[in-house]
Structure 1
Amino acid sequence: MLMLTSGSMGNAKAVLFTHKQVLSAISGKAAVRQLPRDRPFLNWIGLDHVAGLLEIHLQALWLGVDQVHVSVADVVPSPGTFLDLLSRHRVSRTFAPNFFLAKVVSAVRSLRRTPVWDLSSLVCVTSGGEANDMKTCLAASALFLSFGMTETCAGAIYNSNCPEYDVAYGYTIASLGKCINGMEMRITTPANVNGLAAPDEPGDLEVRGPVVFEKYYHNQNATSQAFTPDHWFRTGDRAVIDSNGNLSLMGRAKDVININGVKIIAADLQTTIEHVLGDRVERLVVFPSTALHTEQVTVAYIPNIFPLRDDEMVEITHLVTQTCLLHTATRPLVFAVRKQSLPLLPMSTLGKISRLKMARLFEDGEFTVDLQLHEYAMAGTCRAVEQVYKNESRLKSEAEAHLLEDVAETLCLTPDVLGTYVETSLFDIGFTSMHIIKLKYYIERRLGIDVPVIHIMKNPTIRALAVDLDAQMQHSKTGPVPIDSYDPVVVLRARGSKTPLWLIHP
């Protein structure tokens, strides 16, 4: 069986699963905690992901318990539905990453009257894919945490005493726990003679055992780089194992930004943004910063001239935002570095800006004034532009009015409070990848047609999207869309005075 990795460290690789590996993994998972045989598992993750396939589906088959499968589109936009399903079907085990658990907690807190849910059958909620912050763990106190990656058949290290253990040791990020049967782990460091780290000493995480894969499919070079001579798999994670044998992660050996469990290579994204901006800026750096419940892409740039004009600032921010949305499906935090802040930049003798040090300086508030001035200038310019287009951007059709209601519902607002116009980009009012999924759900519920996400990405204004939806409705009545009408072009910038640039995906 082949399963693709996420590709967070480069191109996706096909992991070759063997029957022995899968059976060892499922047996080890099932032995971590006894589960009732008369209670089902709930899965809302696609079966093309290891969490859905191995954590839930195959483990349920192994244990001989029933399974409840629902679409991600029905759960993510409505966290309350997740709790309804757990209660209605008396589920004993399910999976939920940290960002979704945070949404569940937030949704429950916002309810004026909490429904009566019966979660007495729920034994564990397996969580993985990204770090679990203790605030979320404490708020959702029935969590059962795991760490896993495609190469280890998903969850292979479990913390079955969370949050009590982590609270006792004062952790801000939940520890991952201990290995299941069929896998062992070690922390290595070149600083020690034997190459092994002492308890609580940071190093590189390596694992081995029947649960760990043997090779990548038709990729001997990647396989050779992934394993040590004594066949320990290099996970690429920096970690520590405490004196009690519990694992805690410290980050990746390579620079990555972890957004809701999706790992993005900062260097690759920075190269892309640099190509898009060209000579508009002198230099830029891409690094992670802390968002509400996950990390976010943060882009700091040095202008070519000081002070930077507001219209140039808007153009740069727009290009960076569109690039990030297309490559990461998330909205970045962008700001210009002031001339007074240039000495703060952690620059090497070769002129390279350290992402790690930049992230620390940002979190310490060293660039607070830079960010505030940038946001103030952006807000003033956007208000001026909005006033210019206000009179010619009124709703012109019933389709636009309905779509405005969908957008308002997506943002949990009313249309009159929304305060946007049909020519305003959805991403300029704070849309993220999660909002796109929610909007897709509301549109499909109202119109009864399938709306591909790419259509929303390519038509990010209410007017443009309303026209596109009308066309889809017409085609749904007359038959499928002809092949010759397929338009794969995603416009990054629709106007300008320079030679048009086309980026072709091979």
Structure 2
Amino acid sequence: MDLLSSLRGDAADRPESVRVGEERLSRGELLAAAGAVARRIAGAPAVAVYASPSLATVVGVVGGLLAGVPVVPIAPDSGASELAHVLTDSGAAVLLAGAREAATLGAPWTECGVQLLPVAVSERGEVPSGPVPAEDATALILYTSGTTGVPKGVPVTGRAITADLDALAEAWAWTEQDTLVHGLPLFHVHGLVLGVLGALRTGSRLVHTVRPTPEAYAKAAGSLYFGVPTVWSRVAADAPSAKALSGARLLVSGSAALPAPVFTRLHELTGHRPAERYGMTETLITVAARAHDPARRPGVVGRPLAGIETRLVDGAGAAVAWDGASVGSLQLCGPTVFEGYLRRPDATAAAFTEDGWFRTGDMAVLEPDGTHRIVGRASTDLIKSGGYRIGAGEVENALLAHPAVREAAVVGAPDEDLGQRIVAYVVAEDVTERELIDLVARELSAHKRPRSVVFLDALPRNAMGKVRKDRLG
């Protein structure tokens, strides 16, 4: 069954099917509100959605899907130049925003020739009865973070979304009996595709907390929780809120590696071992720990989802052993992988191998049973120092094991002698540089120790909590 058939298939009222903050709609009300939007935007080449954490965003996105119009989620904090690029590049002719937000939006929206349409959550309309859009038609146009240039458009088909959500439902035993809770941004794969469309497809109840605070997570009383490491770190630091999650069925972490100390603390307070998963805008979620695996470990993202194949290669393209130690470049293929960047044939060609596998740009270690451990980005997290290949993640976890260290990021800096020297950026109090260097040398090995430690008040992060290592140094 395709994605839209699932959305259309159950219009019967289910009280509080979707709740965002204090706003709530039954499934029937959501479909009727989205139906009203769908009729207003029918025939548009693409529709942008001002993706604030609001019920209007959910209604706007579902309305676009029902109308068969590609939906372009826009981060509310987008700068003027990035916003103009995304609107122009995607070809969006319409911008949907909540009624109150629409009243305050002006340039550069209007300067890009975009028609602004307010979304009234209370409006009702018939769900379009025309043909269901083809499964291989573009459902969403998501944009990469732009850390290595202007953001690139990633067309995502309904078929890819359906394949991904069904595979995740199987991996996490996700059913209509669940109540999903999260407070993640609604313009990324994690918060929107998994966190909204996943709930609609499985039929589970959705509670979006607007902000992912420990108190809001505890109050929501869900069975399934989504978060990123920053969220889980804050939950782990709030013992009463963390203990309130002990009645949940599964805690899921993604978008970046969950630090081992946070994993351990959550297990101590909630009784749960978080399930980590791996994915990208271009591939959706491709590897995930299973709900039925009680031996989940920190830093381990599990095995490929149904239909996904992965492989590790070295710099020359030769296979890297699945021995639990050798680091290689992760490549993958399967039904969730996109076909190419929007209007960027050069970037598309560079992203795929000659035999059609997608180059993730991430480094990983595979165990003999196919379990994956992501080391980090090849461009920033694989450090070549003194002839050794060192994953930044293991050094970061060693630093985070010190009770005085709250945050840590490790990068490789150019060095005439070593090639690259390890530099650690930490948020910590009452600990010296020498103590931290010695800790890593003792816990890992001497060649993995930082050559210098820089103390910061906070690490630079993006909206999903990923550290912006390009801003360090």
Q: CA RMSD in A?
A: 3.8
Is 2:190 the partner of 1:117? no
CA distance in 2, matches of 1:195, 1:97: 31
Is 2:295 the partner of 1:165? yes
Name the structure 1 match of 2:72.
Answer: none
Is 2:405 the partner of 1:295? no
Name the structure 1 match of 2:307.
Answer: 182
Deviation readout 1:308-366 (Å, 9 max, x if unpaired): xxxxxxxxxxxxxxxxxxxxxxxxxxxxxxxxxxxxxx7327xxx74454459985359
Corresponding residue SS for 2:343 = coil
Q: Which of 221, 224, 234 is equivalent to 1:93?
A: 224
Name the structure 1 match of 2:437.
Answer: 364
| Structure-2 change in CA distance of 1:298 and 1:239 (3 Å) | closer
Name the structure 1 match of 2:335.
Answer: 210
CA distance in 1, matches of 2:422, 2:458: 29
> How do residues 348-427 of structure 1 correspond to structure 2 at under 5 angstroms?
348=416, 354-359=419-424, 364-365=437-438
Post-superposition offset of 1:174: 1.9
| Structure-2 change in CA distance of 1:124 and 1:8 (3 Å) | farther
CA distance in 2, matches of 1:234, 1:64: 34
| Structure-2 change in CA distance of 1:294 and 1:37 (3 Å) | same
**2:171 is matched by which residue type in structure 1?**
V
Preserved contact between residue 228 and residue 256 of structure 2 (Cα < 8 Å): yes
Is 2:157 the partner of 1:15? no
Q: How many residues align?
A: 283
| Structure-2 change in CA distance of 1:355 and 1:107 (3 Å) | farther
Specify which structure has the higher proportion of helix: 1
Deviation readout 1:7-39 (Å, 9 max, x if unpaired): 234332111101111111111111113234233
Q: Which of 259, 278, 300 is equivalent to 1:133?
A: 259
CA distance in 1, matches of 2:227, 2:304: 20
Name the structure 2 match of 1:221.
Answer: 346
Name the structure 1 match of 2:75.
Answer: none
Q: Which of 237, 244, 257 is equivalent to 2:369?
A: 244
Q: Which of 266, 283, 290 is equivalent to 1:152?
A: 283
Is 2:195 the partner of 1:195? no
> Taking every aligned residue pair, what percent have the same amino acid on both sides?
24
**1:4 is matched by which residue type in structure 2?**
Y
Post-superposition offset of 1:161: 6.5
CA distance in 2, matches of 1:289, 1:134: 9
Preserved contact between residue 93 and residue 123 of structure 1 (Cα < 8 Å): yes
Post-superposition offset of 1:132: 1.7
Is 2:179 the partner of 1:40? yes
CA distance in 1, matches of 2:184, 2:169: 19
Deviation readout 1:75-116 (Å, 9 max, x if unpaired): 34xx2222122x2xxx222211122212111111xx6xx798
Specify which structure has the higher proportion of strand: 2
Q: Return 5+ residue gaps in structure 2 as ranges.
A: 1-139, 383-395, 426-432, 442-448, 464-473
> How do residues 322-333 of structure 1 correspond to structure 2 at under 5 angstroms?
none
**1:27 is matched by which residue type in structure 2?**
D
Name the structure 2 match of 1:50.
Answer: 189
Preserved contact between residue 288 and residue 297 of structure 1 (Cα < 8 Å): no
Post-superposition offset of 1:197: 3.3
- In the TM superposition, structure 1's runs of 4+ consecutive aligned residues that sit over 4 Å from their partners are 161-164, 287-291, 297-300, 353-356, 358-363, 365-371, 430-434
Preserved contact between residue 312 and residue 331 of structure 2 (Cα < 8 Å): yes
Preserved contact between residue 422 and residue 452 of structure 2 (Cα < 8 Å): no
Preserved contact between residue 202 and residue 239 of structure 1 (Cα < 8 Å): yes
Larger radius of gyration: 1
CA distance in 2, matches of 1:147, 1:92: 21
CA distance in 1, matches of 2:343, 2:313: 28
CA distance in 2, matches of 1:62, 1:38: 12
Q: Return 5+ residue gaps in structure 1 as ranges.
A: 168-172, 258-286, 301-345, 376-426, 437-506
